[in-house]
Amino acid sequence: MIEISARREILLDVNGEGCRATVRGSDTLLDVLRQELGLTGAKPGCENGDCGACTVLVDDWPAKSCLMLVGDALGHRVETVEGLHDARIQRAFLEAFAFQCGYCTSGFLMVAEGLARNRPDAGEEEQVEWLRSNICRCTGYAEILDAVRDTLAGRVEGTVADALRRSREESLSR
């Protein structure tokens, strides 16, 4: 860990780009992403690590950005939901209707993407365990788990635009 005492400019690797930010040692990664870099996909929820709305990937592993000091991210690859760019998990969430209000969605997407990258052969018990790190107050989690299952099983095809189009067509036909 690097010590940052006063405000200091640092260079972070975020979504594959070098991003400069002026920070204090006490700044969390969540605050820097949102306030300094304008990346608002990671959400402040509980701000004590319980809800998972702030989840990002650090070197491909899920991390609660509200608990991580920005100095601890130096020298690591940080990926936010803005960096996913048409990932299969995003399409799966759309196709499975795995969100309602959307506040927790970015955190779930990042946990699920981390699972897909690190444990693509995970069974249902492990999938459920990974998803336990996040809270959704709107859904019953079934659709979220369906999206994860479909992604890991390779049943997700097309683009996010395709999934949106199918979703609109299905809702109009109901």
Q: Which H/E stretch holds residue 87?
A: none
Task: Please give the domain boundaries of the chain with CATH numbers for all domains.
Answer: 8-83 (3.10.20.30), 88-173 (1.10.150.120)
Q: pLDDT 10s per residue in the chain (174 long)? A: 666 568 999 999 999 999 999 999 999 999 999 999 999 999 999 999 999 999 999 999 999 999 999 999 999 999 999 999 889 999 999 999 998 899 999 999 999 999 999 999 999 999 999 999 999 988 779 999 999 999 999 999 887 888 778 777 877 887
Q: Per the structure block, which two tokens stand in for 150?
A: 């479909």
Residue type, 57: L
CB atoms within 10 A of CB 111: 23
Beta carbons of 6 and 20 less than 8 angstroms apart:
no
CA distance 124 to 120: 11
pLDDT at 159: 79
Q: Per the structure block, which two tokens stand in for 162?
A: 């395709």
CA distance 166 to 160: 10
CA 172 to chain centre: 30
Q: Compute CA distances 4 → 1, 9, 77, whole Å.
A: 9, 10, 19
Give 56's strand partners.
63
